[in-house]
Amino acid sequence: TTVTVSSTASHPIPTTLWGQMFEDISSGDGGLYGELLQNRAFQQVTPGTSAALNAWQAVNRASVSVVADSVKLSNALPNALRVQIPTGVSGQTGVANTGYFGIRVNSAWTYTASFFYRFPTASSFRGNAVISLQTSSSQVLGSATVALSGAQTSWTQVTAKITPTSSPSATDNLFVVSVDGAAASGQTINFGLFSLFPPTFKNRANGMRMDVAEALAEMQPSFFRFPGGNNLEGNSLPSRWQWNNTVGPLTQRPGRAGTWGYINTDGLGLYEYLLWCEDVGMEPIMAVWDGFDLGGSSVAEANLQPYIQQAIDQINFVIGNPTTSAPAAMRSSLGHPAPFKLTHVEIGNEDFIGNAPSTIAYRWNHFASTLRSTFPQLRFLATSNVNSPRLTPQPQEWDLHVYQTPTWFAQNSFMYDDFARDGTLYFEGEYAAISTNPNDIFGSPSDGRLTFPTVQSAVGEAAFMTGLERNSDIVFAASYAPLLNHVANSQWTPNLVSFDSANVYRSTSFYVQKLFSLNRGDQYIPSTLPSRTGTLFWSVVSKQTNTIIIKVVNVATSAQTIAFNLPFSGISTTGTAQVLTGAATASNSPTTPNAVAPASHSIPVGKTFSYSAPANSLSVLTLGIN
Ligand code: AHR
């Protein structure tokens, strides 16, 4: 194959092109969000049930239950953990939390532990509670003591620092709060809103888990889409994501039943998302709820107004003026008087699902008309089927999603070449090669579904991404989905980055995303087009005036040679090839975390040069010109 490269660029490459799509799908609580304790505040549980005690267990004969406290910690957090110390117990007795499928104990870290407590009945008890991190065999790895008083019948918070003395490799550790059984014999203590934080990314209070955050930041994403995805929508109207329940003190956040089968604490709330975007240098692509829930119900046209107002308030929290907007004043009071960066707001998610299409016309009409006139500086994205039904006002931007096979992605790298150039822009907001079986894309692993991205799936995505780059005159952003999963608690596979309590696993697809993101250009340079039905794909970009970057993707199972004719003068004689390749089915997983990673080597280049693209590979060729 011979590729002739143009001497002039066709279009600038949007700075937003490569980024990330995030929703809590076993990825926020117990994932990106740094909190280590699961079910820390008994949010949204039914008191008295064993489910309410999820992740909690009694220690040394204490009797524990979740109660609806007569004195609530707050209206948002009405439940408490009641711990009754029996008579005749010796040694420490209390309660333990098992974390999110484990707790990593690291002696290099100082943990911040806290809880609220009150004695439901005043007593003369005065003594210490020991907060400790323990192995599953009760070996204490680190502890702190805090004073408790039986006279304390209203809620009060205690905080302690714990620096463990060792770092076991096992993660089946426990967070334990205990009292001396003899001294506290017969006492009843109510606890609420426990917390255990390790040091966080950029040391943010209530911040992000460091290793997960570092992996995401390493991709140098330029945007962060949140909070969903399905998890925006809720399975019912009351359980939709509501920005105002996710901001302010943790005691004011009720949590919600997320759409992925577990309770969301909403500790990772709107303000935390926005700080995270700033910390990584990403701009938010933020979604607002648009009147449809995944239970299948749509808000009637006549009743939409409060929900549109809630969306306006959400946007004002992000960009409003604190002197004229109460949500913006709240943002300011939290420490961010300046507006956050915001350009794109997505109205809903996947309005092509179920019966959403039957109501999207009026929902879009009311949401988009009001939001566009309220915020003329913003651009709003539609998420239904393009032109079916036709939406008014005409969407400025669309978010399109596709989950398919590696082969589909390679065969559809020309998808956007066929789209009209009529001013409409596109966000490929979710895409991933998730199965090798075109007849059962969302099926099980025994039927072709991938558990982790493979070299083949990642390279198929890379072929598609060369098309996104070529079409970046109309595609302004693209993100793989889902972004993250806890390997012990997955609702969906494969994911871009996986993790457990102690480790982070960067997938083959992660490396593809990173290679594209770190090697983005600022101008697209047309070249001979690949064959639509071929197995070799490429795209050429320039960066500033001195660098040409060529991405070459070979989805075939044998190496292919590609020759380039470049019109540029002053090409240096040596370039760099960064190559991701491997066996088609190879994956990075907990058992083989580093099976596949990009490697760099020098290559001879010039006005004309040939490159041998290995089987199943993405190569990023970088050439200097002067
Ligand atoms: O990425 C997983 C899910 O796929 C998203 O929540 C949804 O938007 C899509 O159907």
- Supply the DSSP string of 548-585, one letter for each residue: EEEEEEE-SSS-EEEEEE---SSB-SEEEEEEEE--TT
CA 317 – CA 314 distance, rounded (Å): 5
**pLDDT confidence of residue 533:** 96
Q: Find the radius of gyration of the CA atoms of the chain.
A: 27
- In the numeric block, which tokens belong to residue 472? 């970046």
pLDDT of res. 363: 98
Mean pLDDT computed over 231-253: 98
Query: pLDDT-based confidence at 336, cuts 50/70/90?
Result: very high
> What is the C-alpha separation between 27 and 22, in angstroms, rounded?
8
| Per-residue exposure over 136-147, b if at least 16 CB sit within 10 Å of its own CB, e if not | eeeeebbbbebe
Q: Among 240, 492, 493, which residue has the most ligand 1 atoms within 8 Å of its CB, making it the best to mutate?
A: 492
Percent of the chain at pLDDT > 90 equals 100
User: Residue 332's pLDDT band (boundaries 50, 70, 90)?
Assistant: very high
pLDDT tens string 92-140 = 999 999 999 999 999 999 999 999 999 999 999 999 999 999 999 999 9
Distance 149 CA to ligand 1 centre (A): 49
Q: What is the mean pLDDT of residues 47-69?
A: 98
Helix (H, G, I), strand (E, B) or coil at 17: coil
What residues are paired with 208 via a beta bridge? 33
Give dist(CA 265, CA 42) in Å, integer: 9
CA of 516 to the centre of ligand 1 (A): 23
Distance in angstroms (rounded) separating the CA atoms of residues 148 and 390:
64
Q: Which residue puts its alpha carbon closest to atom 4 of ligand 1? A: 229
**Whether the complex's predicted ipTM surpasses the cut of 0.95:** yes
C-beta atoms surrounding 284 within 10 Å: 23
Complete domains list, the chain, with CATH = 2-11+524-624 (2.60.40.1180), 51-197 (2.60.120.260), 222-392 (3.20.20.80)
CB 240 within 8 A of CB 300: no
Beta strand 79-84 with 188-197: parallel, antiparallel or unpaired? antiparallel
Q: What is the mean predicted confidence (pLDDT) over 314-325?
A: 98
Residue range 243-269: mean pLDDT, rounded:
98
Q: 3-state DSSP call for residue 306?
A: helix
Ligand 1, atom nearest to 230 Cα: 6
Q: Strand 536-543 and strand 523-524: pairing?
A: antiparallel
Q: How confident is the model at residue 291 (pLDDT cuts 50, 70, 90)?
A: very high
Quick: pLDDT tens for 470-508. Answer: 999 999 999 999 999 999 999 999 999 999 999 999 999
Strand pairing of 11-12 and 20-21? Answer: unpaired
Q: How far is the CA of 492 from the centre of ligand 1 (A)?
A: 9
The CA distance from 237 to 246, in Å, is 16
Q: What is the pLDDT of residue 113?
A: 99
pLDDT confidence tier of residue 436, bands split at 50, 70 and 90: very high
**Ligand 1 pocket by Cβ (under 6 Å):** 23, 228-230, 349-350, 401, 430, 481-482, 492
CA atoms within 13 A on the CB side of 569: 0
pLDDT of residue 393: 98
The pLDDT tens digits of the residues spanning 160-187 come to 999 999 999 999 999 999 999 999 999 9
pLDDT, residue 214, reads 98
Which pLDDT score is estimated for 156? 98
Q: What is the pLDDT of residue 229?
A: 98
Q: Report the percentage of the chain scoring pLDDT > 70.
A: 100
Going by the DSSP 8-state scheme, the letter that residue 247 receives in this structure is S
